């Protein structure tokens, strides 16, 4: 895994083991809230068809819904205290490498 190969400590949390606190923290790091973390597809639409839209559901109701139906979450969701990566992007994931290590790597690779 990329995180291991870059010597970054991490804890893998299965979606079924997510907590309300995890979801709240992830959402605090998004730009568009629930829209950033939920798959936009037929399965999600089917699960939500008899419910109010995301825009009218309360925060608590929507997070509870996600905890019951974690299969609607995009994958992977990688986060720490202040960074969030949804999906895998080899360039964007570098945000988890501490800035001083990124500078060292950049200097070493640009000038060698």
The DSSP bridge pattern shows strands 77-79 and 84-86 to be antiparallel
More confident residue, 97 or 34: 34
Closest CA to 11 of 78, 67, 98, 59: 78
Rounded-to-integer distance, Cα 51 and Cα 64, Å:
13
Domains of the chain: 2-110 (3.40.30.10)
What is the structure's pLDDT at 2?
Answer: 80
- Predicted TM-score (pTM) of the model is 0.78
Q: What is the pLDDT of residues 82-96, one digit of tens each?
A: 999 999 888 888 888
Alpha helices in the chain (DSSP H): 2-5, 20-28, 34-37, 42-48, 59-68, 99-110
């Amino acid at each position: 895994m990329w995180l291991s190969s870059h010597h970054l400590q991490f804890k893998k949390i299965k979606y079924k083991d997510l907590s309300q606190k995890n979801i709240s923290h992830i959402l605090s790091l998004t730009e568009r809230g629930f829209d950033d973390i939920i798959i936009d597809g037929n399965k999600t639409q089917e699960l939500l068809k008899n419910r109010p839209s995301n825009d009218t559901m309360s925060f608590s109701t929507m997070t509870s819904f996600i905890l019951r139906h974690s299969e609607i979450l995009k994958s992977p969701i990688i986060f720490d205290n202040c960074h969030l990566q949804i999906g895998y992007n080899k360039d964007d994931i570098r945000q988890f490498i501490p800035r001083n290590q990124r500078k060292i790597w950049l200097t070493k690779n640009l000038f060698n």
